[in-house]
Structure 1
Amino acid sequence: MIKTYNKTKIIATVGPACSDYEVLLELIKEGVNVFRLNFSHGKHEEHLETINNVRKINRAYKLNVGILADLQGPKIRIGEVENDAVYLEENKIIEVVSKKQISTEDRIYVSYENLAKDVKPGERLLIDDGKIIIEVTETNRVDLVLAKVIYGGVITANKGVNMPETTISVPSLTPKDLVDLDFALKHKANWIALSFVRKASDVQEVKQKADNPNAVKVIAKIEKPEAIKNIDEIIDAADGIMVARGDLGVEVPIDRMPMIQKDIVKKCIQKNKPVIIATQIMDSMINNPMPTRAEVSDVANAIIDGADALMLSGETSVGKYPVKVIRTMVSIMKQVELEPAIYNKQLTADENSPTFLSDAVCFNACMISESLGGKAIIGHTRSGYTAFMLSSYRPKAKIFIFTDNEALLNILSLCWGVQAFYYDKFVSTDGTISDVIQILKNASLVKKDDVIINTGSMPLEAQGRTNMLKVTKVD
């Protein structure tokens, strides 16, 4: 039913262009692994319909397509504007207030209560992705800021405001986020993406609200300069990372973006955490049937760097060609994944880690597979840890994960190279190995004489950490 299995995964945002059951099914057939619900848009009823449709497809076709719930976060915006548009004149001094009102050419409302308290003279506010820039000249630290227009132009209602030089005091979880998070947890979303993360405690707050860490995982979206400063602790705290290049590209100097992206991907691979690249992946295909050459190169470079997944936003949610976008992405992935350079990251286990022994088994399984020309590496897990470890090495062999944790099947749909299967017959080590190989053989995923690297835990009934490695040749 699925036309191809790429090692790099595709996340597609759901919106008016693809919310129908038939279109969702077509996108899955073309290669979508995870659907993103963007809680900046849409009602809960619409999101629930998407969740139900994806689960209906999963049941009907025995698939494990995941659901990612993306919380809006404390997005700062201007409000309504006079006559639908006002012109801010360059070098003019204007007032900026946090009390809700209609914005004019002399006074702009910004939806951030602590604006006057947090900003300092000399700090810049960027409106509409940096198209308009104003600089703070004075603040009364209560309710009024004076600012000089550095780059002027026309502003329209509800445009975003970025404050890259200001340490903002607003929490990462807004009241709206808490309602949306409860909805996502109630309806068993597989991944929760937290916007505008600044520090590890932001992630830990969300994790505390999720009862079962084996049933839902948390992604930290990197969009703020503070997050770059705290990136190591954020990666440690989160289950996965998203390089959200939209707001991040406004908040940091744009010439730093390529190396920031590469550095975060490298750190995530080293720490065995899935990493997603997002924003303007195939932006031109919102309106055009073909991507630009630059977009093709951007996608290829993200794959070469080792991203677990690439996320499409407007391309699938509101674009004219949602199915063609996925088909184009898959064709690029298939071509790039022929290149040896993307495989075998040569990771080593940290001797000081409490999971050193199981990490060493996983990494050595990948190295043995490489040296023997192994066709598949098999892992067994309940928490997903073994899958994350094997995936992070980026082996050329296929990764097949077996688990009795049903929620994990859809969670792993986001991880590089992983295909997951439900299995709950753990009786003996040899019996289980023989059984799962037969399952893969019946599905035509392995064939006679293929070399398989098996990993697992002994004794089986203890369900402990991975401590066993066995090489098998398929009969």
Structure 2
Amino acid sequence: MPTKKKTKIVATLGPATSKKEVLKNMILAGVDVFRINFSHASYDDVAERIKIIRELNEELQMSTAILADLQGPKLRVGVMGGEVVVAPGDEILFVTGEPFEGNAERVYMNYKEFPRDVKAGENILLDDGKLMFEVVSTNGENEVKAKVIQGGPLKSKKGVNLPNTNISLPALTEKDVKDAIFAIGQDVDWIALSFVRFSQDLIDLQNLIKEHSEHKIPIVAKIEKPEAVENIDKIVAYCDGLMVARGDLGVEVPAHEVPLIQKQLVLRAKKARIPVIIATQMMETMITSLTPTRAEVNDVANSVMDGADAVMLSGETSVGNYPVQVIEKMTSILKSVEGSSLINVPQTPPHIKTKRYITKSVCYHAALMANEIQAKAISTLTNSGYTAFQISAWRPSAHILVFTSNRRILTQLNLLWGVKAFYYDKYVSTDETIDDVNQIACKKGFLDVGDMLISLAAMPIKDKGMVNTLRVTEIETCNF
């Protein structure tokens, strides 16, 4: 029987999730998408894990998706020689070029354009903002002098954020290109691009996918820089999903601004009818504890109330002690809040008369009608998955059941709120096909005798064109 939650769970793979039995229990507990973090991935391990997930999909008759998350331009300091502590008022040199062991006076920076990009007065944040420096001067070649504003232990290989600096690094680094080509070769379902700032970042990745794959692989733009929030309209035009990456975002912008940015991004994704994932520190306590804090439970619940398609776990499943239990706990939170009447999704009908206007309009009215007549499910036949994106964005109270003969989109659609996709390749007459999919929906536990169902189809069915027909049925028999 399917897990009857509609909000999707994205779980990060790691050492804690290397065994097939653990992955199986996580899928059964409610994981919809597994994330591969290419910041910490060996290709052999990734290939093995993907193979196991696909075997489990076959065994369990599930459609668990795989999201490849590219690292992006990760700025770091070098290795420190012993324990180093810096105090407010101290001055320190950030030096590029050949790596060396750092101390309280000089530290290596892995980003060679750093002295050319930064300007006096700009901030340098280290270790998720625990340490803060202000740029005093730069020689424009290989040295930047900075003053300590907020001190503490300066540890090896910690990440660097430059919130005020216009960095010249592309979002797609050499490592990312190599990782993306590997991920494309593994036929992943989604690719996430880190530190997106401009639409060109996404166009570069689209071109790379076209070059190495015959199929479209949808892209998730990770929003973790202030420029991305400013350029969100242009970014949304070139991506297929958004991720509110609150870790780096909360360092790059003041942390108190993140909650409203989260709400703004969710609304923007809904308007574009693309999925949005909320990420970072959702159930952090459960890395080492069996019980989440009240604040964490509230955070997950509020993400659903905001209208997120998916909530994501990072360390909780990659290195945590309780990868299965954290999924069970998250599933119970999602189920308890997602049916609430307090959730208000803006319902603005499609208004631009494009060539897809009819399909958009049919999907919009299907969602409205489903709520009005309390339909248990909306079923749609699709070859591209387009109708699934449209219906999901309107957040109907009904389950969204997608039937397709295109195996590639079966797993892709698993990221979308409320969507369950099934393989179906018998396109006969409208009546026969709809009767057929109704019986599959009964068998899978989504429908029972007396339930109302809305069926969408493209007429004539055999042409597999754009959806143009809406039909309402009361289920009279469930024969299976």
TM-score by length of 2: 0.96
1:59 match: 58
Residue 213 to residue 223, structure 1, CA distance change in 2 (3 Å): farther
1:86 match: 84
Report if the CA contact (8 A) 2:376-2:446 is conserved: no
2:237 match: 236
Residue 472 to residue 343, structure 1, CA distance change in 2 (3 Å): farther
Q: C-alpha root-mean-square deviation of aligned residues, in Å?
A: 1.3
Task: Give distance in 1, aligned partners of 2:369 and 2:345.
Answer: 11
1:117 match: 116
Where does structure 2 lack aligned partners over 5 or more consecutive residues?
Answer: none
1:98 equivalent among 93, 96, 101: 96
Deviation string, structure 1 residues 331-367 (Cα, Å, up to 9, x no partner): 1111102312336642311224442221111000111
Task: Give distance in 2, aligned partners of 1:143 and 1:443.
Answer: 63
2:31 match: 32
The Cα shift of 1:206 comes to: 1.1
Give the AA of the match of 1:15. G
1:170 match: 169
2:218 match: 217
1:45 match: 44
- Does 2:348 match 1:350? no
Report if the CA contact (8 A) 2:400-2:419 is conserved: yes
Q: Higher mean Cα deviation, 214-223 or 306-315? A: 214-223
Task: Give distance in 1, aligned partners of 2:38 and 2:161.
Answer: 19
1:296 match: 297
Report if the CA contact (8 A) 2:307-2:345 is conserved: no
Task: Give distance in 2, aligned partners of 1:65 and 1:215.
Answer: 18
The Cα shift of 1:213 comes to: 7.9
Would you say how many aligned residue pairs link Structure 1 and Structure 2?
473
1:197 match: 196
Task: Give distance in 1, aligned partners of 2:299 and 2:433.
Answer: 42
Instruction: Note the 1:325-336 alignment, pairs <5 A.
Output: 325-336=326-337
Report if the CA contact (8 A) 1:214-1:408 is conserved: no
Report if the CA contact (8 A) 1:345-1:394 is conserved: no
Where does structure 1 lack aligned partners over 5 or more consecutive residues?
Answer: none
Task: Give distance in 1, aligned partners of 2:286 and 2:308.
Answer: 21
What SS is found at the alignment partner of 1:133? strand
1:369 match: 370
The Cα shift of 1:324 comes to: 1.1
Report if the CA contact (8 A) 1:404-1:423 is conserved: yes
Report if the CA contact (8 A) 1:54-1:65 is conserved: yes
- Does 2:387 match 1:389? no
Residue 6 to residue 29, structure 1, CA distance change in 2 (3 Å): same
Give the AA of the match of 2:66. I
Report if the CA contact (8 A) 1:344-1:395 is conserved: no
Deviation string, structure 1 residues 397-424 (Cα, Å, up to 9, x no partner): 1100011111111011110000000111
What SS is found at the alignment partner of 1:284? helix
Task: Give distance in 2, aligned partners of 1:398 and 1:52.
Answer: 29
What SS is found at the alignment partner of 1:17? helix
1:436 match: 437
TM-score by length of 1: 0.97
Report if the CA contact (8 A) 1:214-1:384 is conserved: no
Report if the CA contact (8 A) 1:79-1:101 is conserved: yes
Task: Give distance in 2, aligned partners of 1:394 and 1:154.
Answer: 47
Task: Give distance in 2, aligned partners of 1:54 and 1:14.
Answer: 11
Report if the CA contact (8 A) 1:214-1:383 is conserved: no
